Structure 1
Amino acid sequence: MAPLGMWPPVNSATQMLKPTLDIDARLAEIERSVDLLLNLTPVNGAEAWADFERSDFRAVPTLRLRPLGFEPDLLRRDLYNLELENVTDPALHMLLRAKREEIARQITALEDRDTSRFVYASLQLYGGVSPSLTSAAQDLLGAIPALSPPASSVTAGAFADAARAEMNRYREVYPEFPVHVDVRADVSELMVSFGRLLIPESVTLRADRVEPLLQHEVGTHVVTYQNGARQPLTLLTIGLPGYDETQEGLAVLAEYLTGGLDPRRLRVLAARVVAVGMMLDGAGFLDIFHALQQRHRIPARTAWIIAIRVVVAGGSVKDAIYLRGVSRLLEAFAAGVSLDALLVGKLALDHLPLIQDLLDRGVLRAPWIRPRWLDAPGAQERLDRLRAGTTVMDLYEGEAPA
């Protein structure tokens, strides 16, 4: 594999795979129209929090989701009209078929929003919570003391300025690197949607979280999107099947490698797993919120955010993938998995053999962009420790409570 930053031309293997690439491009187009992330984000997050706060944290909030901008049956027809039988490469055929099924599940999930069926669609997309993951989350919450949040904070506008500055740093090295940052009233959380960083207009962030969040959102999610956009396989921009777990795990490890995975952040990741488990056991919003706040000493605003993300649309398990993704990456690094191939685009650990094969055959290019977090002070030493074998508990660098 060529070093990071090298971008060799694609050879004739790409032309041989033209039927594959045509279907790949159409699958990407369909998933963009589905836009699962945005369509599961409440449009009234700020008002719902204000109402909840005024109720002295006693009234279950009402969350509004945006209307779907597509006709589900028509998209399904488009999906199943794709002639996958023309894809002769067995590995790519399996990959494209899995992606088609994943998009079909996304469509069903969005149709089932705000019904009891949604949680089952979410489980199909993201998987459940294993006893070992729950145990790791409980251990983190028990070992890491609850700390009061620092007083210093930044607004949406200040974070947007910092994000543009970060993107411009990439632009200095990669002149074609685009700068897409939007501050919006209709999103309730930070997200990267198809390469664009979306920032809630009402968001207030801890000042010490700005740099880690830049490495998470820009240095990982935007960078892997842009690396994927330079590949002939368009799905590497929107994500191969099941990519979310590995992508979020990688983004959290970017925070760790830059020294930004502080105790408060680790407690949030653990609390998300606990909240998902409670929801799956039948707990409602208020039960989850008060358990996080009282039993696990999560600040009210943070407990609100965690609980909302878990109960949205009828029950989402997505937030368990952050801690699970980190755990699986730690196992992979200890087993000798290279970081380079994970930066080709948005992919899952399970896809690495296929990605490496496509790199070796010249179908895919080496990553266009090298994330800046790889060159942060202390990053290499931290990465070496990960490769020597660590667990999520080892990511906590403080002292256990007495």
Structure 2
Amino acid sequence: MKLSVPLEFAPIYQIDGQLDRLLKNIELLAYLNPNNIEQEKKRFFGSKYTVEPEFTYTRLKFDAFKTQRRLFSFRLEEIEDEVIRSLFEDLLYHYSGMVQCIDTIGKGDKFYYNSLKTFGTPTDKDVQNAQFILHFKDVVDDNSIKKFSANQAAEYFAEFSKNYQFDYKIVQSTRLASDAMVKNSTKELLIKKNGKFSANQLKILAHHEIGVHLLTSFNAAAQPLKIFSNGFPKNVETQEGLAVYSEYMSGALTLKRLKTLAYRVIAVDSLRRGCSFIETFKQLHLDYNLNRDDAFTTVMRVHRGGGFTKDYLYLTGLKKIYNHHKEGNSLDDLLTGKVTLKYKKTIQKMEGLGLAVKPVHHNIAYTTNDNTNDKIDFILNNLR
């Protein structure tokens, strides 16, 4: 979608297009999801938790060194607007970090330190928030029993998608670190082929993956600039915060789900303290009484690649979006693409200049708060 813009913005479009062509094959999770999750899970359980899993990964489809060199060859000084030039400078450093992450997957500490640089690690306050959530007693009901197959999940998502005016593919996969995820580059919703889903989990995934991740993919595709699709710097926290907030507003967010996010923080903190896969698994499974399947999945998500710290951002992102919306702020500008709360004013300026447009698709959960669980509100209000 091209809009009529002043000639002075021509360098922005030129650099944006060059960046997009360079970043076509750079999607971290496409490389980071292990190829042999089920085999290693079986081997790990068979060893009675004594053998470290050995995950394998997809080979790179691009030259990391040449990509890095080209990233810093762009003539950003030709962008006259200081705010937008600053955004593009931040973008180059962000994409460089992503390239370094992908290039070092499976290379132990090299990947871990690149992950730290790109995603950070939980603070003591974040760990205390997670422990606060884990103090609450579990509630089990029929909606939390996993009884639906991947085929039934696909049918549910197809029906749910009638709430939105965009078309995408639903693909079943055996190479997922989660039960479902969106592949941004191909506009696909991937579902774990051998997974089992509860009724509430289907509602969570629908509002999370379709209501936010797919929605922002399609909104990004309607933008004049490709950076909205390729992603703003450190957009993960905002995007995951929006997605979990969509679960909350739809009434799907449960204590069990919040605990899942809390366990991820504990696992990333365990990684930060130098614990192995086995040690982190035993901490969740034995010390926190998390069932072994969920413990394995949580630890695998965090230890894959050599140490992936992203997962603590779901909880911090939720708190930031919850506070932002509670203060009366609109979330519309944060749905324009894979953007970051930090750059909200920049996005608004770009809209004023004709370099961005308001979102085409809107999240159906954000219009009315359907949460009826007072305990969830109590927890969110009291996170530090």
TM-score normalised to the size of structure 1?
0.87
Aligned CA distance change for structure 1 residues 151 and 350 (closer, same or farther; 3 Å)? closer
Q: SS where residue 109 of structure 1 aligns?
A: helix
TM superposition shift of 1:15: 5.4
Within the candidate set 122, 125, 130, 1:132 is matched to 125
> Which residue in the other structure is 1:109 paired with?
101
Output the CA distance in 2 between the equivalents of 1:82 and 1:109. 21
Q: SS where residue 117 of structure 1 aligns?
A: helix
TM superposition shift of 1:184: 2.1
Preserved contact between residue 146 and residue 297 of structure 1 (Cα < 8 Å): no
Output the CA distance in 1 between the equivalents of 2:39 and 2:199. 23
Preserved contact between residue 293 and residue 299 of structure 1 (Cα < 8 Å): yes
Which deviates more from structure 2 when the two are superposed, residues 85-94 or residues 56-65?
56-65
Aligned CA distance change for structure 1 residues 180 and 303 (closer, same or farther; 3 Å)? same
Preserved contact between residue 257 and residue 382 of structure 1 (Cα < 8 Å): yes
- State yes or no: 1:21 paired with 2:10: no
- State yes or no: 1:299 paired with 2:288: no
Output the CA distance in 1 between the equivalents of 2:378 and 2:239. 18
- State yes or no: 1:178 paired with 2:171: no
Give 1:77-226 correspondences, 5 Å limit.
77-113=69-105, 114-145=107-138, 147=140, 150-170=144-164, 174=165, 177-189=166-178, 190-194=180-184, 195-226=187-218
Preserved contact between residue 327 and residue 392 of structure 1 (Cα < 8 Å): no
Q: SS where residue 24 of structure 2 aligns?
A: helix
TM superposition shift of 1:298: 1.3
Aligned CA distance change for structure 1 residues 391 and 85 (closer, same or farther; 3 Å)? farther
Q: Which runs of 5+ in 2 are unaligned?
A: none
Within the candidate set 304, 309, 329, 2:321 is matched to 329
> Which residue in the other structure is 1:74 paired with?
66
- State yes or no: 1:344 paired with 2:333: no
Output the CA distance in 2 between the equivalents of 1:133 and 1:192. 26
Letter matched to residue 348 of structure 1: T
Q: SS where residue 171 of structure 2 aligns?
A: strand
TM-score normalised to the size of structure 2?
0.91
Deviations 1:180-222 (A, max 9, x none): 2211233332221213212232222223200111110011000
Deviations 1:164-194 (A, max 9, x none): 3333442xxx3xx222221123333222121
RMSD over aligned Cα atoms: 2.4
Q: SS where residue 205 of structure 1 aligns?
A: coil
Deviations 1:6-47 (A, max 9, x none): xxx976336542220221233233333122111111111122
> Which residue in the other structure is 2:55 paired with?
63
Identity among equivalent pairs (%)? 26
TM superposition shift of 1:352: 0.5
Output the CA distance in 2 between the equivalents of 1:294 and 1:147. 20
TM superposition shift of 1:391: 7.0
TM superposition shift of 1:96: 1.2
- State yes or no: 1:251 paired with 2:243: yes
Aligned length: 375
TM superposition shift of 1:382: 5.1
Q: SS where residue 178 of structure 1 aligns?
A: coil
Letter matched to residue 132 of structure 2: D
Aligned CA distance change for structure 1 residues 11 and 188 (closer, same or farther; 3 Å)? closer
Output the CA distance in 2 between the equivalents of 1:146 and 1:317. 29
